[in-house]
Amino acid sequence: MLEVVALGGLGEFGMNMLALSWDKTTIVIDAGVMFPDPELLGVDRIIPDLTYLQQKRPIAALLLTHGHEDHIGAVPHVVPYLDGPVYGTPLTLALVEPKLEEHGLGGYPLVPVKPRDRVHIGPFEVEFIRVTHSIPDCVALAIHTPAGTVVHTGDFKIDQTPIDGEHFDVHRFAELGSSGVLALFADSTNIDRRGFTGSELEVVDAFEEIFTSATGRIIVAAFASSIYRMQILVDLAAQFDRKVAFLGRGMIENSQIAQRLGHLRIPAGLQIRDSEIGSYPVQDVLCLTTGSQGEPMSAMSRIAIDDHRHLKIAQDDTVVLSARSIPGNEKAIGRVLNHLARRGANVVYEGIKHVHVSGHGSEEELKLVLSLVRPRYFVPVHGEYRQLAQHARVANRVFAGRDPRPEVLLIEDGDLLHFDADGGRIEGKAPVGRVLIDGTRTGEVADEVLRDRRHLAEDGLVVPVVAINKQTGVLEGVPEIITRGFVMENSQELLADGVKLLSDAMEQTSVEERTDQGLIKERLRVELRRFLRKRSGRRPFVLPVIMEI
């Protein structure tokens, strides 16, 4: 029996991961992250709960469709469950490598594949098929299993004028369809858009207008993975005699990787370092930067508040946001654009000019894949529930009148799909959920830590400092209260009363209590917190410090 389960990516945007098991062999397709809402303070990214992989370990292989974070961001977290290689195209693997190194997993076996390659993994034969998307070197997968062939599209649109000349392999999809496909898992991201999505080339016209009319610098913020966008802009820079500088770690790193692998071609002498921007006339510079989502530490956010080492916005500079806003980031992006506009920049984004095109196929492209592959079972993946449901509706229209009529299985994360001689059905549930990852320590973040961080951000920090005699526990001198981010009217008066409260509290304690650091800290914390809440209505984070003299 073939078991298929989505561990993420169904009912949410991002965190794409699908597992297939036959007997004792399990393989995993993609290992993505989701980016957290801004309320999850200090959480860097979110990965799927990996309990299912724990149960099925060792996992025989990890197969990657392409190099976007929502497909490869969790690779370092999945590798510990693997006993087999990671397969992907060269660009995808090049983007994975630094992540593994960061987690001390450098040197883990990565096997490069190209479209139409086939690899054998236990009972599975996996075939890679070229698809087009917003990043080069993307593949779909056909997995030949003892129960039949499973096709997984990965992310795709059908770009008929691909910038690198690598076309969507319509032929192979059609061949698979005519030789019989058990189940198709297809991207649902843009099912709610009519028509066709359009080629990556579509943005050229809008950028040409910008290059023609701009009198100052042109600064474009995009995803660091938007390598096609980089190529379009580099070509325009060459045409309009502008030097190109990359800003922000991700943009610099990815442009290097893309150049090394031949996906980004920059004419000699065109590229300059970020530190050289200031030494060129403004009309001769194009900057490509990270920060299209308003990320607070990104190059773009720093530029917006005049805090970037090499680039100060001047009147007549043009700033282009060449990316969509991921839901939840609109406010942060809006803030950055406002700062830039206030500094006199001409700010351009999708609503003003066609400076971004989606990488995901719209309704007509998705229909085309459905009719090419014509599977026995169709499972919509990648999307929130309403998109999956809409994809199911569209599929039923495409399949209407076909005999036998393909069946649509609308599933969510964790639903176990079983395929055997009797067909396919949902049978049981795997443990699923989200794990919050703190980037600075590469560890998981407990709820408690999050609560603390929210406290600090909203109400600030109050540190009562109390010096006591080591033996007697008697107060030595007057306590002090240090605050950070805790501002009140009358705060002088409030803090003076707070100091008195601390002295009184110390007086009321017994010797045992006073000389026990844990007890005295807790007592001061509770008293001071209650006092501050009553007097100020706020709940700052109270962190007592006891000094023994």
Closer residue to Zn ion in complex, CB, 56/68? 68
How far is Cα 536 from Cα 487, in angstroms, rounded to an integer?
10
CB of 30 to Zn ion, least distance (A): 8
Instruction: Give the nearest distance from C-beta 14 to Zn ion in angstroms.
Output: 7
Part of the chain binding Zn ion (CB under 5 A), chosen from 21-29, 68-76, 96-104, 539-547: 68-76
Q: How far apart are CA 15 and CA 69, in angstroms?
A: 8
Q: Give the interface segment with Zn ion, choosing from 62-70, 114-122, 454-462, 466-474 (CB under 5 A).
A: 62-70
Scan for tokens 């990214």, then name that residue. Answer: 45
How many residues at the interface with Zn ion, by CB under 5 A? 3
Does 391 engage in binding with Zn ion (CB under 5 A)?
A: no
Name which of 68 and 77 has its Cβ closer to Zn ion.
68
The residue among 188 and 346 lying less far from Zn ion, judged by its C-beta, is 188
Q: How far is the CB of 186 from Zn ion (least distance, A)?
A: 12
317 binding Zn ion? (CB under 5 A): no
Query: 134 vs 289, which CB is nearer to Zn ion?
Result: 134
Tokens 């009912």 — which residue?
A: 11
Three-class SS of residue 369?
Answer: helix
Contact between 70 and Zn ion by CB under 5 A: the answer reads: yes
CB-based burial, 490-528: b 16+ in 10 Å, e otherwise:
eeeebbeebbebbeebbeebeeeebbbeeebbebbbebb
CA 294 – CA 277 distance, rounded (Å) = 22
Q: Please identify, using beta-carbon distances, which residue of 68 and 242 lies nearer to Zn ion.
A: 68
Stretch that binds Zn ion, among 95-103, 151-159, 300-308, 385-393 (CB under 5 A): 151-159
> How many whole angstroms separate alpha carbon 532 and alpha carbon 387?
48
Of 89-148, which residues contact Zn ion (CB under 5 A)? none
The residue among 112, 6, 2, 3 whose CA lies nearest residue 431 is 6
Q: Specify the residue, 216 or 383, whose C-beta has the smaller distance to Zn ion.
A: 383
Please say which residue, 219 or 264, places its beta carbon nearer to Zn ion. Answer: 264
Q: From residue 306, give the alpha-carbon distance in Å to each of 179, 313, 342.
A: 60, 7, 11
Distance (Å, whole) CA 48 – CA 74: 8
Strands 541-542 and 138-145: unpaired
Least CB distance to Zn ion at residue 364 (A) = 19
At closest approach, how far in Å is the CB of 12 from Zn ion?
11
220: how many CB neighbours lie within 10 A of its CB?
A: 26
Please identify, among the stretches 38-46, 69-77, 337-345, 480-488, the one whose residues bind Zn ion according to the rule CB under 5 A. Answer: 69-77
Q: For residue 367, what are its two tokens?
A: 């229909």
Amino acid letter at 177?
G
For residues 492-511, which are near Zn ion according to CB under 5 A?
A: none
Q: Nearest distance from residue 68's CB to Zn ion, in Å?
A: 4
What's the closest the beta carbon of residue 132 comes to Zn ion, in angstroms?
11
Check: CB of residue 128 under 8 Å from CB of residue 113: yes
Taking CB under 5 A as the criterion, the residue among 45, 68, 243, 376 binding Zn ion is 68
Contacts of 269 (CB under 8 A, 6+ apart): none
155 is a site residue for Zn ion (CB under 5 A): yes
Give the single-character DSSP code of 80: G
The least CB distance from residue 34 to Zn ion, in Å, is: 10
Considering the complex, what minimum distance in angstroms separates the CB of residue 235 from Zn ion? 23
Contact footprint for Zn ion (CB under 5 A): 68, 70, 155
